[in-house]
Amino acid sequence: MTPSEATQALIAHARTTAALGQVAGRLGWDQETVMPEGASAQRAEEIAAMDGVLHARRSDPQIGDWLALAEAPEDPAIAAQLREIARSFARTCRVPAALSAQIARVTSLSQGEWARARAAGDMAAFAPRLAEIVELKRAEGAALAEAGQRPYDALLAEFEPGTTAAELSAMFEVLRPRLVALRDRALGKPQPAALAGQFDGARQQALAEELARAFGYDFDRGRVDLAVHPFSSGSGADVRITTRIDAADPFNCLYSTLHEVGHAGYEQRIDAGYGLSPIGQGASMGVHESQSRLYENQLGRSRAFTGWLHARMVEVFGPMDGIADADAFYATVNRVSPGFIRTEADEVHYNLHILMRFDLEQALIAGDLAVGDLEEAWNARFAADFGQTVPGAAQGVLQDVHWPVGLFGYFPPYTLGNVYAGCLHAAFRAALPDLDQDLALGDPTPALAWLGERLQRHGALRMPRETVEEATGTPVSAEPLLAYLEAKFG
């Protein structure tokens, strides 16, 4: 076999793996949207079978042989594909199969146990299982770690390759005091009441689809369905999103749709030539989240765009109680309210939720914090950052599914994504001085075109941070995000 044949073999093998990965993802989409309830046990078996096939393909020893033969290609797209194939192969091979299977088994059992413990607000009931999961993830991190790498960093690399906890800590330590100060300033001002009234579900859905179209979502290669939790699923020519309807809160449907359209639009705009290849997807979770946050917040919650949205909502639903004009609407959409729940947090509070999870999960994996002391540590940190006493575990340490299913290292990319979004927003505002005129007409196209050309079309061609820095032309920093938040809420 020649070096070029080895490269061709790697790319062909990865293409079939990617195609099967898309099929596996669609099984998950189906499960959350249209699957009959009685199918759940069979579906679990189907998904496990697909997982087994994918794991075997990703750890196929032939990949190692081909990688040893292949030469560094000149084409940067081929080079990036080989980089991703080598990374995935090395990680898959480092974790012993028995440990992998044990993690899969325990985290599948723990989902139901967590849901019951959360409903009962009983951390003590779940603590032994969580301690077991932390132990397994620590072992996985140690297995994944390259020489000199900390286990937590090895886990983090699954979601955000090319960064370390130390690097993120330095960035987040800049954010935390200024966010706490901003929170205090914002709450010192009178905040509007939450939206009142009832909003027809079918009209919410129709308006959400109108927004999705306006934000460039391609319905020829996607669809919108209802699900309990909004998500985006798939890559390339089939990228689907879900939303949810709450009759009392149309913003939930509209803004979660914009968020998912940000994820989906990123996938849909990746160069078609990268389809079903290891670079035919978003560069990382953090870069993905930067797109969804930009669509939802910097664009969707901007003063200019909400002016248009207010008028459109009055057309669709009639006048809204307590909202006299577009300024009042803008204030309501951007209402700052200290809550216990991360997923309901406003732009000021959101990153504070992530920062505390980041510190706590590092301490858990490092062994500096025992699961038995976690609830107390959580509540103390929440009181320090949010000035509130957590009333119970359901509103505190048990609220998120991430740790119970073994997702350690998954939280920090949310805030990193916001930091990336801040950098990208500053860059396209500078390049598009008249953007507000278009947003005021409900048209974000110039911003989307900028993002598509500078960032989205490249997929995972470059490493995550490099992807953002190539787009903006400046180093990544927390300053633009802080400047944006302080201007908006200070």
Q: Which stretch binds Zn ion (CB under 5 A): 115-123, 288-296, 365-373, 480-488?
A: 288-296
- Among 316, 218, 311, 282, CA closest to 463: 282
In whole angstroms, what separates CA 361 from the centre of its chain?
17
* Least CB distance to Zn ion at residue 96 (A): 32
Using the rule CB under 5 A, which residue among 292, 298, 306, 334 binds Zn ion?
292
Lay out the site mask for Zn ion across 392-411 (x = CB under 5 A, - = otherwise).
--------------------
DSSP state of 396: T
* Least CB distance to Zn ion at residue 15 (A): 27
Residue 381, Cβ neighbours under 10 Å: how many?
17
Q: Which of 84, 140, 260, 289 is catalytic?
A: 260
Instruction: Find residue 243's DSSP bridge partners.
Output: 226
> Which helix (H) or strand (E) covers residue 200, if one does?
none
Closest CB to Zn ion among residues 126, 255: 255
Round to whole Å and give the CA distance between 301 and 66.
49
* Least CB distance to Zn ion at residue 367 (A): 30
Closest CB to Zn ion among residues 110, 235: 235
Please identify which residue in the block is written with the tokens 């009142």: 196
Tell me the site size for Zn ion, rule CB under 5 A.
1
241-247-249-253 Cα dihedral, nearest 10 degrees: 10
Closest CB to Zn ion among residues 235, 292: 292
Point out the residue whose Cβ comes nearest to Zn ion: 292
* Least CB distance to Zn ion at residue 239 (A): 14
Give every CB contact of residue 295 below 8 A, 6+ residues apart in sequence: 215, 258, 259, 261, 262, 265, 444
- Among 290, 327, 225, 304, CA closest to 426: 290
428-434-436-440 Cα dihedral, nearest 10 degrees: -130
- Among 87, 88, 103, CA closest to 408: 103
* Least CB distance to Zn ion at residue 350 (A): 11
For residue 198, give Cα distances in angstroms to 97, 201, 256.
Answer: 52, 9, 18
Closest CB to Zn ion among residues 421, 426: 421
Report DSSP letters for 404-448, one per residue: GGT--SSSHHHHHHHHHHHHHHHHHHHH-TTHHHHHTTT--HHHH
Closest CB to Zn ion among residues 292, 297: 292
* Least CB distance to Zn ion at residue 292 (A): 4
Please identify which residue in the block is written with the tokens 């359209």: 261
Q: Which stretch binds Zn ion (CB under 5 A): 86-94, 128-136, 290-298, 382-390?
A: 290-298
Closest CB to Zn ion among residues 123, 287: 287
* Least CB distance to Zn ion at residue 355 (A): 17
**Cα angle for residues 267, 270, 274 (degrees, 5° grid):** 115
Q: Which stretch binds Zn ion (CB under 5 A): 286-294, 335-343, 383-391, 438-446?
A: 286-294
Q: Which stretch binds Zn ion (CB under 5 A): 127-135, 292-300, 393-401, 450-458?
A: 292-300
Residue 119, Cβ neighbours under 10 Å: how many?
10
Give every CB contact of residue 87 below 8 A, 6+ residues apart in sequence: 161
Instruction: Find residue 241's DSSP bridge partners.
Output: 224, 232
Closest CB to Zn ion among residues 163, 292: 292
Lay out the site mask for Zn ion across 246-285 (x = CB under 5 A, - = otherwise).
----------------------------------------
Closest CB to Zn ion among residues 326, 421: 421
What tokens appear for 120 in the block? Answer: 């009962």
260 labelled catalytic? yes
* Least CB distance to Zn ion at residue 270 (A): 17
Binding site for Zn ion (CB under 5 A): 292
The catalytic site residues sit at 260
